[in-house]
Amino acid sequence: MSFKIAVIVCLILMGLMACITFYLAKKVSNSFMKYIPVFSFAIGVLFFYINLNNISYNLISSEVIYNMIAFIILLIVGSIAFLEAVIIDVVENRKLFRKSYRAVQKTVKLVSVNRTFNFKMPTNIVNKIKGLL
């Protein structure tokens, strides 16, 4: 497959994935909206990965190099889009994360305090010791 055709097919697949994700975001949850670029770039990366693995080595080496460059660029941009979506999620839910972090911190302190000052012997061991004495 020539590089021009591969780019056109990749753009069509990425656009189709963006439309599907947008439709799901409207119908299911608006939180999917920030993941549209992530899913689109993931489809592009997957397409070029499959394209690179199924290439016959009789092709011109420049097309293989162009495919690798496109794969790497899509991978980098997709990673940046994923980090952006995660950062937006954390910033939007900052109060929720803070509350859950504090709750976990309190329970860890309570569990460690209870284990330190509350010595409980298992009843089976206590009964065996009383029976031997």
CB 81 within 8 A of CB 51: no
By the 10 Å C-beta count (0-12 exposed, 13-18 middle, 19+ buried), 24 is classed as middle
Can you give the residue ranges of every domain in the chain? 1-92, 93-133
- Tell me the residue ranges of DSSP E strands in 31-112: none
Q: How far apart are CA 45 and CA 50, in angstroms?
A: 9
Q: For residue 119, name the pLDDT band (cuts at 50, 70, 90).
A: low
**Angle, alpha carbons 129-131-133 (nearest 5°):** 70
The pLDDT value given to residue 120: 58
d(CA 70, CA 47): 10
| Percent with pLDDT over 70 in the chain | 68
pLDDT-based confidence at residue 80 (cuts at 50, 70, 90): very high
b/e for 68-98, b at 16 or more Cβ within 10 A?
eebbeebbeebeebbeebeeeeeeeeeeeee
115 pLDDT above the threshold of 60: no
- At position 45, the amino acid (one-letter code) is V
Most confident option among 53-62, 78-87, 120-129:
78-87
28-75 pLDDT, tens per residue? 877 778 888 898 999 999 988 888 887 666 656 777 888 888 889 999
pTM beyond 0.85: the answer is no
